[in-house]
Amino acid sequence: MATRVETGATIGQALPTLVKDVSQRRIDVYSGVRPRSIHSDEAWARQKGFRACLAQGMMSTAYVSQMMVELLGPGFASGGTMSMAFIKPVYAGDRLTVHGVIKDRQSDNGATRVVVEVWVENQHGEKTAVGQATGLVS
């Protein structure tokens, strides 16, 4: 993994956003197709009160991981952290935008740890997941 971080990345700097179209096909591949699953059985999802199948919250952690790898390369896969809360359902057909803002740069055993506030919004501007991710700049 190439290291892409700009060592001069500053606190308050917004990272390039990622846009994700959460199709049913992508949910099926991520979660697998099963009966009686709100991820892949639309009738079941509707029976449980949802308007469509839901994406796993875990898909949003993959989006944040992608953003952090683009920022830090191997400094995320070895030494990175992520903490996310899933606060609103993501439905098949939603378009998500993944945001990150650098909140801090900390000394960590001779390296610099970059702390990023992250959140995911749907097409209505509603936050679906919020949290923090960190990684190392060697």
Q: Measure the CA–CA gap between 85 and 124, rounded to whole angstroms.
A: 19
Nearest to 138 by CA among 3, 14, 1, 13: 3
79-103 as b/e: b if 16+ CB within 10 A:
bbebebebeebbbbebebebbbebe
Smallest gap from residue 39 Cβ to another protein (A): 6
Contacts with another protein by CB under 8 A lie at 1, 20-21, 26-27, 29-31, 34, 36-39, 45, 48-50, 54, 56-59, 61-63, 65-66, 69-70, 74, 76-86
Smallest gap from residue 99 Cβ to another protein (A): 16
Nearer to another protein, 14 or 33 (CB): 33
Q: Number of helices (H) and strands (E), helices first, in the chain?
A: 4, 5
Nearer to another protein, 7 or 36 (CB): 36
Nearer to another protein, 86 or 138 (CB): 86
Please give the full DSSP string across 44-56, using - where no structure is assigned.
Answer: HHHHTT-SSPBPP
Smallest gap from residue 126 Cβ to another protein (A): 17
Smallest gap from residue 45 Cβ to another protein (A): 8
Nearer to another protein, 50 or 101 (CB): 50
